[in-house]
């Protein structure tokens, strides 16, 4: 029988990315599928801490095997900011357009535009906790480009490509992204233990 895991997120973009990356390997249930409408707290000072906090929260209320991801954009010239504060970089509202404008303004006079996305996935399975990390290196553009994806995708060009994540197809982003790397490690682990 296909293994089932809850993905502890309300972000529909993340759900569809993870479902595409996993294909038929695993059945992913969303929080909506288990009728959890609660806003999950993420108050840790680290990306790994937030991923664990979200996974523990959902495991506690559901008792089911689950995982959560937390992602940050780390910009070299900004001392790796916004990092764990990526969602609220420009304020409390998780406003991606405002977050992007704030990064572009902060880098206006900088020649070093290197950055990376870092995703940590926290898995809780049969009561055990396990972390998986994925990163992708790249550069920040000077303006927003493209319409697909979400978050900071319109200003991030992964190394080896000339398009931003928002300009490339979803299937290409899902082959090379930080989230894809972390999800592959998760599936390798699941196939080892089951």
What residues are labeled active site? 70
Residue from 153, 164, 180, 182 touching ligand IMP (CB under 6 A): that is 153
Least CB distance from residue 71 to ligand IMP, whole Å?
A: 4
Check binding of 118 to ligand IMP (CB under 6 A): no
Contact 154, 144 (CB under 8 A): yes
Beta strands in the chain (DSSP E): 4-7, 27-29, 66-75, 81-82, 114-125, 128-140, 156-158
What CA–CA distance (Å, rounded) separates 45 from 128?
22
Residue from 30, 65, 71, 141 touching ligand IMP (CB under 6 A): that is 71
Largest CA-CA distance found in the chain, in angstroms, rounded: 55
What CA–CA distance (Å, rounded) separates 82 from 99?
9
Q: Which stretch binds ligand IMP (CB under 6 A): 24-32, 103-111, 128-136, 151-159?
A: 151-159
Q: Which stretch binds ligand IMP (CB under 6 A): 27-35, 125-133, 134-142, 149-157?
A: 149-157
Size of the site for ligand IMP (CB under 6 A): 15
Which residue stretches of 66-177 are H helix? Answer: 96-106, 170-176
Contact 142, 109 (CB under 8 A): no
85 sits in the region (left: phi over 0; alpha: psi -120 to 50; else beta) called: alpha
The residue among 59 and 178 lying less far from ligand IMP, judged by its C-beta, is: 178
x/- contact string, 8-37, with ligand IMP (CB under 6 A)?
---x--------------------------
Residue from 8, 18, 53, 70 touching ligand IMP (CB under 6 A): that is 70
- The contact set with ligand IMP (CB under 6 A) reads 11, 70-71, 86-87, 96, 99, 149-153, 165, 177, 179
């Amino acid at each position: 029988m296909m293994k089932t895991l809850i993905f502890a997120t309300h972000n529909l973009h993340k759900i569809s990315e993870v479902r595409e990356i996993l294909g038929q390997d695993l059945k992913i249930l969303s929080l909506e599928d288990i009728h959890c409408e609660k806003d999950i707290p993420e108050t840790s000072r680290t990306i790994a801490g937030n991923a664990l906090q979200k996974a523990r929260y959902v495991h506690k209320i559901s008792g089911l095997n689950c995982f959560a991801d937390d992602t940050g954009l780390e910009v070299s010239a900004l001392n790796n900011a916004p990092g764990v504060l990526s969602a609220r970089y420009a304020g409390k509202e998780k406003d991606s357009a405002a977050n992007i404008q704030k990064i572009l303004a902060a880098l206006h006079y900088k020649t070093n535009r290197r950055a990376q996305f870092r995703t940590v996935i926290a898995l809780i399975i049969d009561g055990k906790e396990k972390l998986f990390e994925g990163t992708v290196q790249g550069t920040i553009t000077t303006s927003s480009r493209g319409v697909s994806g979400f978050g900071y995708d319109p200003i991030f060009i992964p190394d080896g490509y000339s398009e931003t994540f928002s300009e490339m197809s979803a299937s290409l982003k899902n082959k090379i992204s930080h989230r894809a790397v972390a999800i592959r490690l998760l599936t390798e682990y699941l196939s080892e233990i089951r």
